[in-house]
Amino acid sequence: MPAASVYSLLIKKENAHEDPIYSCAWTQTNISSEAKEQIKEFLVTGGLDGLVKVWHIENNKLELFHTLQGHSMAVVSVAISPDGHTIASASLDSTMIIWDLTSGNKVHEIQSEATDVWKVAFSPNNTHVASGSHTGKVIIYSIVKGIVHKILDTRGKFTICVAWSADDKYISCGAVDGTVCIFDVQQGNASANLVKNINLKSWVLNACFSKDGTRIAAATADGSVHVILLADCKILKQFHEHSSMVWDVKFKPTSDHLVSVSKDKCINIYECPIPPKDTKK
């Protein structure tokens, strides 16, 4: 059976925010209680309403765990630290806020220049957050100190997405002009240019890798979610479950589920199994 035929919508949460949802992130973390320590699954979302919402996922249901208030304008990006304990949120109010996921408490509020915080990504060692900006710069912040640690300059256009390599050595960023720049974080210089084009019929608003590195999920302005096999850029599946542009998409770190959030105020979760390794016809 072809891989695409068993892809399906798993969960849909309508009106998860009162306004369009711009970003999402997924994690599992240990939550201590009086009885015992439990591993729980969480989804974090942010949107036009300026709120960051933390959702507990259990038995294929989304239950609101926290509503975090601190931004005065739209939340354009959220990220969760690899250890699952810390949230970073970036807003059009030019602030980035660091939150404790379990308690919902604010840890740091970092003020920046206008739109200097856009998409955010945690370092694998949980100590720093990288953010793209409208100037083309990638700004690295210290979570512990709540200050700017380093600035990397692409000398390019608006940096709309950033990602950190699993070995904590490189940062890659993509810009509105279609270029991708890779930085050696230790050296602070552009070390290479990476060019790999996947052409879709609409603006790509966000993209992410699966944990195994074999697939890319892309969110587009036409309301679609595309699952693409990286090796040959083949589209495995296209979902058309949203009624408006899809702002963010994320693979679950521990399984083959995928989440998307949209201007239509919905959270969608999909079943996306790994395709068979044997691709012979």
Reported as a single tens digit per residue, the pLDDT across 212-260 is 767 888 888 889 998 988 777 788 999 999 999 998 888 887 778 999 9
Residue with more model confidence, 178 or 248: 248
pLDDT of residue 176: 65
**96 strand-pairing partners:** 90, 110
Q: Per-domain residue ranges for the chain?
A: 3-111+196-271
Is the pLDDT higher at 208 or at 48?
48
More confident residue, 68 or 119: 68
pLDDT tens per residue, range 10-28:
999 999 999 999 999 999 8
Q: How confident is the model over 64-71, as a mean pLDDT?
A: 97
Indicate the pLDDT class of residue 35, thresholds 50, 70 and 90. Answer: low
- The larger pLDDT score, comparing residue 265 to residue 174, is at 265
Global pTM?
A: 0.74
pLDDT of residue 39: 85
- Per-residue exposure over 74-112, b if at least 16 CB sit within 10 Å of its own CB, e if not: bbbbbbbbbebbbbbbbbbbbbbbbbebbeeeeebebeb
For residue 70, which of 109, 35, 18, 26 has the smallest C-alpha distance? 109
Terminal Cα distance for the chain, rounded: 12
For the chain, what percent of residues have pLDDT higher than 90? 42
Cα(1)–Cα(186) distance, rounded to whole angstroms?
A: 46
How many percent of the chain have pLDDT more than 70?
83
Handedness of CA 117, 17, 101, 165 (dihedral sign): negative
Query: For 127-155, how does the pLDDT look when each residue is reduced to its tens digit (9 = 90+)?
Result: 999 988 888 788 889 988 888 888 887 77
**pLDDT at residue number 195:** 40
Query: What architecture does CATH give domain 3-111+196-271?
Result: 7 Propeller (2.130)
Predicted confidence (pLDDT) at residue 166 exceeds the cutoff of 80: no
